[in-house]
């Protein structure tokens, strides 16, 4: 199962992103496939925070439009939303302990732990910081 990180979601949504077309095509491909794909809940929260932020974008996405975008992704029958469940804590503790992350890096550790906890095969991300988590396979679908 492929999971999608926040940055790929943002690029697929924001038409002003130089990676919009390729990111949009990647999301369309997994969303229309019958195989399961995933978005970790923290990535949805972060997506909403980023695209609606007036300090990040001159013309931020209106909140209603951002919510509609998330709803459209959730319409994909093969989407799995990754959340904390029984056994997650031990996975997070392992990821944090082995990577020695701290402070804001814990956000990425949370996403990595969620992916590992749910058996994700690969995380699509443009963020090289996920290299801190060697047990999680990552791929930047924007450059392949």
Q: What is the pLDDT of residues 25-55, one digit of tens each?
A: 999 999 999 999 999 999 999 999 999 999 9
Contact between 11 and 20 (Cβ < 8 Å): yes
Phi and psi at 82, nearest 5°, equal: -90, 120
Residue 26 has a pLDDT of: 97
Residue 53 has a pLDDT of: 98
Q: Where are the domains of the chain?
A: 2-139
- CATH no. for 2-139: 3.40.50.1010
Residue 119 has a pLDDT of: 97
Tell me the average confidence (pLDDT) per consecutive run of 10 residues in the chain, 144 residues long.
98 97 97 96 98 96 98 97 96 94 94 98 95 95 87
Q: Name the DSSP letter for residue 38.
A: E
CA distance 129 to 118: 20
Residue 100 has a pLDDT of: 87
Residue 144 has a pLDDT of: 66
């Amino acid at each position: 199962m492929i999971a999608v990180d926040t940055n790929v979601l943002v690029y697929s949504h924001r038409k002003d992103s130089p990676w919009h077309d390729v990111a949009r095509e990647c999301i369309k491909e997994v969303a229309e496939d019958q195989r399961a794909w995933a978005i970790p809940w923290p990535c949805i929260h972060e997506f909403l925070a980023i695209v609606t932020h007036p300090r990040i974008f001159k013309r931020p996405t209106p909140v209603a439009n951002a919510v509609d975008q998330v709803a459209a992704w959730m319409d994909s029958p093969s989407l799995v939303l990754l959340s904390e469940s029984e056994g997650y804590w031990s996975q997070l503790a392992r990821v944090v302990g082995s990577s020695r992350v701290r402070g804001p890096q814990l956000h990425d550790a949370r996403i990595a732990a969620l992916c590992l906890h749910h058996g994700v095969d690969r995380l699509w991300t443009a963020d090289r910081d996920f290299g801190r988590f060697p047990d999680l396979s990552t791929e930047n679908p924007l450059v392949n």
